[in-house]
């Protein structure tokens, strides 16, 4: 249901404007989000990419609804930087990332190493590393590889595993954690 005012402004449009300005006034919640544990009224994601130099700090969910325009921005941000291709990222993965970030109680944004990967990129990475799955969830827009300077791989993995909502891979030698919305499982050291 869309409510339009006399100036052609929709409720969803107003929520989008609110999302752009609410970051400063965002209240603090404890633990993970609704789908994962106990919900707050907003969900926020903060990331930067060392590959593209881009960053994103946005509220993507308000009062039980995802904001489609913001999810499109996240899709583009998490694109395959090698090919420039993007897909609709699974919002459950974004939820896991955001909930993990909140559980660690850090202000530092995640460094996104890999979000979506096209088949060609995945094949190239697979040819160079044993740690890349042939049917990686990255190719479905359901996974992200992330790093934080202020937290260890173990701390990040524990936060993601506490969400009990997908796969968590620890890559200590490469200093990153894989988070996905696939079956609940964990691997790595």
70-113, pLDDT tens digit by residue? 999 999 999 999 999 999 999 999 999 999 999 999 999 999 99
Q: Tell me, yes or no, whether 104 lies in a domain.
A: yes
Q: Tell me, yes or no, whether 5 lies in a domain.
A: no
Q: Tell me, yes or no, whether 167 lies in a domain.
A: yes
40 confidence band (pLDDT: 50, 70, 90): low
CA 174 to chain centre: 19
15 confidence band (pLDDT: 50, 70, 90): very low
Q: Tell me, yes or no, whether 46 lies in a domain.
A: yes
Q: Tell me, yes or no, whether 1 lies in a domain.
A: no
Rounded mean pLDDT of 26-37?
40
**Residue 173's domain spans which residues?**
11-188
Q: Is the pTM of this model over 0.85?
A: no
- Domain tally, the chain: 1
Q: Tell me, yes or no, whether 85 lies in a domain.
A: yes
- Assess whether pLDDT exceeds 70 at residue 12: no
Q: Tell me, yes or no, whether 59 lies in a domain.
A: yes
1 confidence band (pLDDT: 50, 70, 90): very low
- Residue 4 bridge partners (DSSP): 10
CATH code of residue 114: 3.30.1380.10
Q: What is the mean pLDDT of the chain?
A: 85
Rounded mean pLDDT of 135-158?
97
Specify the pairing of strand 55-62 against strand 176-180: unpaired
Q: Tell me, yes or no, whether 3 lies in a domain.
A: no
Residues contacting residue 50 through CB under 8 Å, at least 6 positions apart = 111, 113
Q: What ranges in the chain are assigned the alpha helix state H?
A: 11-21, 68-77, 91-104, 119-128, 153-162
131 confidence band (pLDDT: 50, 70, 90): confident
């Amino acid at each position: 249901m869309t409510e339009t005012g006399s100036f052609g402004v929709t409720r969803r449009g107003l929520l989008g404007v609110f999302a752009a300005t609410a970051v400063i006034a965002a209240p603090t919640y404890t633990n993970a989000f609704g789908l994962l544990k106990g919900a707050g009224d907003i969900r926020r994601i903060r990331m930067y990419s060392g590959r593209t130099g881009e960053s994103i700090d946005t509220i993507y969910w308000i009062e039980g609804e995802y904001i489609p325009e913001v999810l499109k921005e996240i899709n583009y941000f998490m694109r395959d930087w090698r090919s420039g291709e993007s897909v609709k990222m699974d919002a459950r993965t974004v939820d896991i990332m955001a909930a993990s970030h909140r559980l660690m109680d850090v202000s530092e944004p995640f460094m996104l190493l890999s979000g979506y990967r096209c088949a060609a990129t995945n094949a190239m990475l697979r040819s160079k590393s044993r740690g890349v799955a042939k049917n990686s969830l990255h190719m479905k827009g359901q996974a992200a590889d992330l790093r934080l300077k202020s937290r260890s791989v173990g701390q990040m993995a524990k936060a993601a595993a506490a969400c009990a909502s997908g796969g968590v891979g620890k890559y200590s030698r490469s200093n990153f954690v894989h988070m996905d919305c696939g079956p609940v499982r964990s691997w790595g050291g």
